[in-house]
Amino acid sequence: MDLERIREGMTSFFAPRQDPNHAFPPASAAVFFNARMELNRDATVLLVSLLRPDRYLDAMGATGVRGLRIANECGVPVTINDRNSDAVDLIEQNAEGLGELVQVTQADINVLLSGRRFDAVDIDPFGTPAYFVDAAARSASRYLFVTATDTAPLCGAHLKAGMRRYFARPLNTDYHSEVGLRILLGFVAREVVKYDRGVEPLFCFAREHFVRLHLRLNNGAEAADRTLARIGFVHQCPACPARVEEHGLIARTHTCPECASLLQPIGPLWLGPVSDRLLLASMQEQLKKMELGKKAQLQRLMQTCESELDMASFYDYHRLAKRWRVSPPDIAALIARLQEKGFAASRTHHAGTGLKTDAPVGVLQEALTRG
């Protein structure tokens, strides 16, 4: 393998030189590496530096960058696994300076996870994590971290694939990125609760072409029931911007409160908070002390997530402005107008033109058109 040295955060490692003319350069070499996932890795390094699990499993290591960074930058013992022997050789080479902190294994992840428990389990596949979540839910003692890069099935662009992977019905809406995040979170929650355990989202977000979940797992039937109570549906009107949330495992029939059309159910999906605000505040403090390549972007992301309302969908207010033939105001001004009218309103990390509010559509139209 033709290798090049890369530095991410405080960690140096080797990755295969990629073919820049390949349709997807990260997959052009014998071992996968995607430099564009640095923020995703930075977020986990930051979080793990606070959580300090007893042992962290990087279940799908490739170059091993994730696990290497956790060992090197957080001082946490890690196991780095991959089933591919080229990857395992490279991980061993990359781990040389880290001594006892890094253990390297070569196994199919479902086999490894079925035979051993780890305090934190991280699943980072290329595509869907759906095939691995059940085994990860059994193996992880306290923390479960999951990436999905199959955003088209998650968000409703590939409807049938989404239904097959996640036992849920997405819908391609203006807020498709949020639907993807919440369908994945709902799916993971359902995989966990069958073992009488619950999930508590710590820091979950969607960005570019991936969704990233950081979850705490809590033991006991009560924790599982609290998790189940967060599952439900968003019912979207096909004719106007209105939508309604409904908790529960069965989607009932709803008509639009604005125009009486039959609403389309999206889900089951997660309706609860997707991050822990107190933890986000501590992470922002911790970030000040750390050297991370995507520090500024991560800081902005966490700030937005901290202020984001917990509701499960948002409006693209530029699209609403077009629909109602008005020029869109500044988002901060629009949020202030809605708050002055007594409604909650916030930005969302999903889109710069995304607006969350509990105001009815009529009030939103008034705030957009008349101020």
Ligand X SMILES: C[S@@+](CC[C@H](N)C(=O)[O-])C[C@H]1O[C@@H](n2cnc3c(N)ncnc32)[C@H](O)[C@@H]1O
Q: Which residues of the chain form contacts with ligand X (CB under 6 A)?
A: 32-33, 37, 41, 60-63, 65-66, 82-84, 87, 108-109, 124-126
CB-based burial, 121-159: b 16+ in 10 Å, e otherwise: bbbbbeebbbebbbbbbbbbebbbbbbbbbbbbbbbebe
For residue 207, give the nearest of 302, 69, 344 by alpha carbon.
302
Nearer to ligand X, 90 or 242 (CB): 90
Q: At what angle do helices 65-74 and 85-94 cross, to 10 degrees?
A: 20
Question: Minimum distance between the CB of residue 109 and ligand X, rounded to whole angstroms?
Answer: 4
Q: Smallest gap, in angstroms, from Cβ of residue 38 to ligand X? A: 9
Between 184 and 263, CB nearer to ligand X: 184
**Nearer to ligand X among residue 44 and residue 353 (C-beta):** 44
Geometric angle at alpha carbon 59, from 55 and 63, rounded to 5° = 105
The residue sitting closest to ligand X, measured at its beta carbon, is: 60
Minimum Å gap between C-beta 80 and ligand X is 9
Which of 254, 263, 273 lies closest to 173 in space, CA to CA?
Answer: 263
CA gap 301, 149 in Å, rounded: 19
When the beta carbons of 61 and 328 are compared against ligand X, the nearer one is: 61
Alpha-carbon distance of 206 to 201, in angstroms, equals 13
Spatial distance between the Cα atoms of 153 and 183, rounded to a whole number of angstroms: 10
CB closer to ligand X, 122 vs 174: 122
Indicate the residue among 116 and 318 with the shorter CB distance to ligand X: 116
User: Is the CB of 125 or the CB of 156 nearer to ligand X?
Assistant: 125
CB of 187 to ligand X, least distance (A): 18
C-alpha dihedral, 346 to 323 to 207 to 263, nearest 10°: 90
Cα-to-chain-centroid distance, residue 331: 24
Query: Shortest gap between Cβ of 70 and ligand X (angstroms)?
Result: 11
Contact indicator for 361, 324 with CB cutoff of 8 Å: no
Type of residue found at 360:
P
Q: CA 139 to CA 268: how far, in whole Å?
A: 25
Which is nearer to ligand X, 30 or 221 (by Cβ)?
30
CB of residue 364 to ligand X, shortest distance in Å: 40
Token pair for 349 = 């990390």
Provide the 3-class DSSP secondary structure of residue 91: helix
Return the number of the residue (180 or 328) whose C-beta is nearest ligand X.
Answer: 180
**Min dist. Cβ of residue 279 to ligand X (A):** 22
**How far apart are CB 141 and ligand X at their closest, in Å?**
20
Bridge partners (DSSP) of residue 201 are 215
Give me the least distance between CB of 85 and ligand X, in Å please: 10
